[in-house]
Structure 1
Amino acid sequence: MEHQVFLRKLEANALAASDFNHQAHLYAAWGYRREYPAPEAAARCAHALSRFAMANGAATKYNHTLTMALLAIAYSRVESDPALMEDWQAFLDSCRDLAQDAKAVLEQHYSSERLAADSARKAFVKPDRKPLPVSCLLN
């Protein structure tokens, strides 16, 4: 599905929750980044994912820190190689580690306790292990 159509369906809660897997989350991240500068893309993506989770009775599954951390990592890769914005498959290939084992990538930055904390679900919490590549979200 073309990314703009996908984003409209996500925002309208018109996607099947059962089909919204981890790769769909990455597709949303990529789609928003194609349309907006990184800070705005991250804010829009996080908002859409949070609303989608709430609309599908899974509000407790949404974790704002996890979302923003993964967006910072993915968008830093786009910052290093802007051509990734033009090609979904190239973006996905550059984020293969995020697609296959996001937990392992996040564990480089966060302890499981910090990520699982209620405060991390509700608002962004800084990493307690290694800093995130956030320069892409500051410009």
Structure 2
Amino acid sequence: MEKHFELSDSEFKQQFINCELNPEIFTHEAHLRLAWIYIKKYGIEQAETNIPRQLREYVKSVGAENKYNTTLTLAAIKAVYHFILKSDANSFREFIIEFPRLKNNFRELMACHYGVDIYNSQKAKMKFLEPDLLPFD
């Protein structure tokens, strides 16, 4: 079990907002959980506004600004939303069990949408690149 599950959704979100979340527990799965929490609580539009802004503040606070990627952040939010629309899960734990591809095959999932390397592209890090293969709908 990942360490982020030791925190309730509310504690997890608040520690993230306050830049107090231990970076060691902010794994890929924890990023997905953050998207799930925001989408469920505020809706997709607000999640797409709040998460990038707060994530930039968080990575700055832990000295990892170079790891922030606008395209990857927004693409992950859009992917989580896509699967939320297909889900009956009442918790993130149920959700990630229902859709393990998000955690275990995320790069493969992104490769369905992007032919370009969004992980290493400076342009993708700076601004959101629309998918060039399959749109997020």
Give unmatched runs, 5+ long, in structure 1: 134-139
Q: Distance in 2 between matches of 1:63 and 1:114?
A: 8
Question: Which residue does 1:60 correspond to in 2?
Answer: 66
Kindly tell me the number of residue pairs found equivalent between the two proteins.
Answer: 131
Give 5+ residue unaligned stretches, structure 2. 1-6
* Residue pair 1:114, 1:128 contacting (<8 A) in 2 also: no
1:78 and 1:51 map into 2 onto residues whose CA distance is 26
The answer for the alignment partner of 2:41 in structure 1 is 35
Q: What percentage of aligned pairs have identical amino acids?
A: 24
1:58 Cα offset (Å): 0.9
**1:16-95 to 2 correspondence within 5 Å?**
16-81=22-87, 83-84=88-89, 86-95=90-99
Larger RCO, structure (CA 8 Å, separation 6 or more): 1
1:73 Cα offset (Å): 1.3
Shift of 1:42: 2.4
> Are 1:64 and 1:122, in contact at CA under 8 Å, matched by a contact in 2?
yes
Report the RMSD for the aligned CA atoms in angstroms: 1.6
**Judging changes above 3 Å, is the alpha-carbon distance between structure 1 residues 89 and 19 closer, same or farther for their aligned structure 2 residues?**
closer
Residue 122 of structure 1 is aligned with which of 120, 126, 132?
Answer: 126
In 2 relative to 1, CA 15–91 (structure 1 residues): closer, same or farther, beyond 3 Å? same
Instruction: Supply the AA of the counterpart residue of 1:130.
Output: L
Q: Greater helix percent: which structure?
A: 1
Encode CA deviations 1:57-108: one digit per residue, 9 max, x unaligned.
Answer: 1111111101111111110221233x33x32222212331111121111011
Q: CA deviation at 1:36?
A: 0.4
- Give me the whole-angstrom Cα distance separating, in 1, the residues matched to 2:99 and 2:122: 27
The alignment's TM-score, normalised by the length of structure 2, stands at: 0.86
Alignment partners' CA distance in 1, 2:34 and 2:118: 25
Q: Distance in 1 between matches of 2:135 and 2:60?
A: 29
Secondary structure of the equivalent of 1:116? coil
